[in-house]
Structure 1
Amino acid sequence: MLKGFKDFLMRGNVVDLAVAVVIGTAFTAIVTAFTTSIIKPLINTMGGAETKGLGFSLRTGTPELTEKTFIDLSTLINAVINFVIVAAVVYFVLVLPIKKIQERRKKGEEPGPAEPTDVELLIEIRDLLAAQQGGQRASSTDVRGPKV
C-alpha cells in the first residue's frame, strides 16, 4: 500500500501540481498587492475627490449609513483585473509551454505495429488448430477453411 502511494507521489503529476499551487498562491498575492495598491487608487480617482472612490451609496444620511450602503465598483473592477492578470500569467507561463511540450512528444512518437484484422486472427487460429490435430495445414490465403 505504501509503495503504491510512493509511486503515485513520485509519478511527477502530484509534485508538479503542488509546486504550481504554491507558486500560484504566491503570484496571486503579488498581483493582488499590485492591483490594490496601484490600480484601485487610479480607479478611485474617477469617483471624485469628495467620494470614497468609484461607486455610489444606496442611502444617504449619516456617514455610518452612507458607508454601510456604499457599492464600491472599484473593488469589483480591481477583482476583474486581478483575475485577468493571474489567468493570463497561468496560461502563458504554464498551460502554453506544457501544450508545446506535449506536441513535441507526440511528434517524436512512431506509430506502433498495425493490429491484425479479424480475418487474419481467424486464419491463424484455424492454422494452429489444424497443426494441433496433425491434419493437413490449410493455406493462409484460403479463407474458406481446411480442404477435406
Structure 2
Amino acid sequence: MIQGFKEFIMKGNVVDLAVAVVLGAAFAPVITTLVDSVIMPLISGLIGFPSFDQFLAFQVGDGDNWVRFGAWLTVVVNFLIIAAALYFVVVMPMNKVIEARNRRLGIDPDEEEVEPDVALLTEIRDLLATGAAPREGSAADKDPNV
C-alpha cells in the first residue's frame, strides 16, 4: 500500500500539477496587481466609477437586506479582465516563443510523430501490397529488432 502511494506521488503528472499550482498561486498577485493598479484605474477614468457594485441594487424588506446585481457584475467583469490580461500578457507571448523555437529547430507542430514500430508495419504492408523489395534507409534498417 505504501509502495503504491509512493509510485502515485512520484508520477510526473502529479509533480507537474503540484508545480503548476504553486506557480499559479505565486503568479496570482502579479495578475491581481495588474488588474487592480493598472486596468481598473483606466476603466474608472473612462466610465467614472471603479465598480458596478451599486448598479441595480435594491432593498428587500426591512433592515439591511440588499440585492446587488452590480456586485455580481463587478466580479464577472473582473474575471473577464483577468482572463484577457492572462491571455495577452502570458499566453500570446508564450505561444510566440514556442512557435519561434519550433521554427528554429525545424519542428512542425502539425506533423504527426509516428512510432517506429508503426512505421515499420506500415512499410511492410506497403511492400507486401506492391511486391517490392525493402529499400535502403527504411524503417527495417533502423530497427535492430528486425
Q: Normalized against structure 1, the TM-score is what? A: 0.48
- Choose 1 or 2 for highest CA Rg: 1
